[in-house]
Chain A
Amino acid sequence: MAGLKLKNLNKIYPNGFHAVHDMNLDIEDNEFVVFVGPSGCGKSTALRMIAGLEEISSGELYIGDRLVNDVSPKDRDIAMVFQNYALYPHMTNYENMAFGLKLRNVPKDEIDKSVKYAAEILGLENLLDRKPKELSGGQRQRIALGRAIVRDPRVFLMDEPLSNLDAKLRVQTRAEISKLHHKLKTTFVYVTHDQTEAMTMGTRIVVLRDGYVMQVDTPTNLYEHPENMFVAGFIGSPQMNFIEGELNQEEGQLFFSFKGGKVAVQEEKAAQLKSLEEPVKKVVMGTRPEHLEVDTIPSEEQETPVENKALVEVTELLGSETYLFLKIMEDQTIVARVDPSIKVSVNDHVIIKPRQDKMHFFHPETEQSLLT
């Protein structure tokens, strides 16, 4: 059990590709940190540098208090779970789980105890004598988890461990890994491209893009206070809506106006926007589908011009909720998540009302949040 410290970590491949840029991160003992980002963002590379499978181009990596830049993977006291399980096909599941301890010359009865313990946690007791190829994907991944548990490492590393499983099993195993983290009380570093996995499992999330850390925060903070448009768009599903427009002052009240409508800005947010060091007029307003309220228009008033009017293009019924795809300008469609009891049909006009307390404002060029 130990924390991790990444100091200005860089990875530059021989072909010049800069995969990770100056990554700084402090991971506390017992944390469940998730690296998330689209493919090619450097999340796996970062994890593999922690594992020692990838050389560190520059910067420092500490596990506990120990600088491990030049320590080989086997001496880092870490365990890793791979996407395609990476079980040794010629060994039984028992042997697979015992392999790491055997290499360390741990006495046989101790190995046996550890393997049995891990098998019990994961419910694998009656699969130990079989070979990996006789198991289903989910069982294989559990053996791979077991192999990591048996090692009793200081840090668990997981590289997209669920992406080879089908959707149902993924949800199940997701919960299982979370439970495991509570039980083992060890540091977990978990890589995924799936924001749902990140949000549900992580105690802290590191959002990466093109090798840069975009934001490091708890799931709640990432969702409520994204620092930039990338994070705002990446976290949450369906994606946050971005509407370009400008800020205008009318009789002391700040408004966000866009083609086809305007919305009053909440006082607290307005104060922040006004006190910016470099005031901006053009901004991008972000509102999540679940924070976009929709009012229906009675059929006789459908054609009356009103502010914030939108055209329903598509409705998606999901049972527990309904997604409305709304055309607000010539070339922009936004999504609203509404109660399924709402009575709208395609080609109806509705009025959109973004929740004032949940509006985000971003700089149109730097894409940074204008709020703190």
Chain B
Amino acid sequence: MKPHKTFRQRLLKLGFYFVLMIIFVYLLFPFYWAINSSLKTEAQLQMTPATMVPRNPATGELAPTLQNYRVVFDNQQFVRGVMNSTIIAFSTTALALVAGSFAAFALGKLRFRGKKPTLYLILAMTMFPQVTVLAGLYAVIRALSLPALISLILSYMIFTLPFTTWVLTSFFRGLPMALLESAQVDGATPFQTFYKIMLPLTAPAMVTTGLLAFIAAWNEYLFALTFTSIEPSARTVPVAIAYFTGAVARQEPFGEIMAAAVLVTVPIVLLVLFFQRRIVAGLTAGAVKG
């Protein structure tokens, strides 16, 4: 006989799913609304009350349109922005991971003077609000007359590198010292030890931190807006979207902006899905037991 569930247990279960649903809606509704809006024409967007799905204003029939997507893809600014963002986000991630893992290896596994202060300095760097360094950075970039793309990559590293280093350090620290020594005795050079033993073992952490660095660089707006102000060709995709203009003056092309937003989110979603298993491993497995 199945154990009889008490009323209390049923109620708790119901409450659990209710809360789950609220969270679900709270998190996903904005994204749903973006998709919904992106499939509407200008006229459908003006309908009151707003419809949950695109409908024909006259007949009320389901009438989604891909018009907005077509316009976005034809927009040279947008395409250019995607390219710029891709270059910047990938470069930032790659550089942050390479430099970050080197630094983390040293901080996590080697003995040297001033290790603690270095670690706290790195942590302190992640705490600066972006706005505080914005003006100063702009002046530096102008003074060095750096191209906007490069200056964006470098300034994103100010935030991603300490974060990557900090997270990876704790991972490297968790690896048993005997593994390194074993590799050393087996005949590996320090660099071979690093990329044949340490790197594969920290892969989950690399993927997780890399992904977060990528998302941060991909979505960043403030620096991108400021540093590309005199070099519009270097605009990243969030800035490019902000500069979308409507067919007539002062018109906000809401549908197109939503379509662009959806398109920009897709690569991130794909990346996360692709690396899903690794991310979970990275978040849970701190240490490797020999």
Contacts and interface: CB of A to CB of B under 8 A. Distances in A.
Given A88-B179, A103-B192, A74 B290 contact: no
Interface residues of B, number: 20
Given A82-B181, A103-B192, A88 B197 contact: yes
Contact of A90 (B182, B188, B200): B200
Contact of B185 (A74, A85, A140): A74
A89 B201 contact: yes
Given A89-B201, A89-B288, A83 B178 contact: yes
A200 to B, nearest CB: 25
Nearest to A77: B187
Contact of A86 (B179, B187, B200, B201): B179
B178 A74 contact: no
Which of B182, B189, B201, B289 counts the most A-chain CB atoms under 10 A from its CB?
B182
A100 B196 CA distance: 12
B184 interface: yes
Contacts of B186: 74, 79, 99-100, 103, 147, 151
Nearest to A84: B290
Contacts of B192: 103
A320 to B, nearest CB: 37
Nearest to B177: A86
Contacts of A151: 186
What's the dominant secondary structure at chain B's contact region?
helix
A79 B181 CA distance: 11
Interface string A154-185: 00010000000000000000000000000000
B182 A80 contact: yes
B144 to A, nearest CB: 42
B189 A74 contact: yes
Contacts of B187: 74, 100, 103-104
Contacts of A53: 181, 184-185
A78 interface: yes
A73 interface: yes
Contacts of B183: 88, 99
Contact of B290 (A87, A100, A104): A87
Which of B185, B200, B201 counts the most A-chain CB atoms under 10 A from its CB?
B185
Contacts of A90: 200-201
A82 B284 CA distance: 27
B188 to A, nearest CB: 6
Contacts of A78: 185
Given A89-B288, A89-B290, A82 B188 contact: no
Contacts of B188: 74, 99, 103
Interface string B191-216: 01000110011000000000000000
15 contacts: A51-B181, A52-B184, A53-B185, A74-B188, A80-B181, A83-B178, A85-B178, A87-B290, A88-B201, A89-B201, A89-B290, A90-B201, A99-B196, A103-B186, A147-B186
Interface of B: 176, 178-179, 181-189, 192, 196-197, 200-201, 288-290
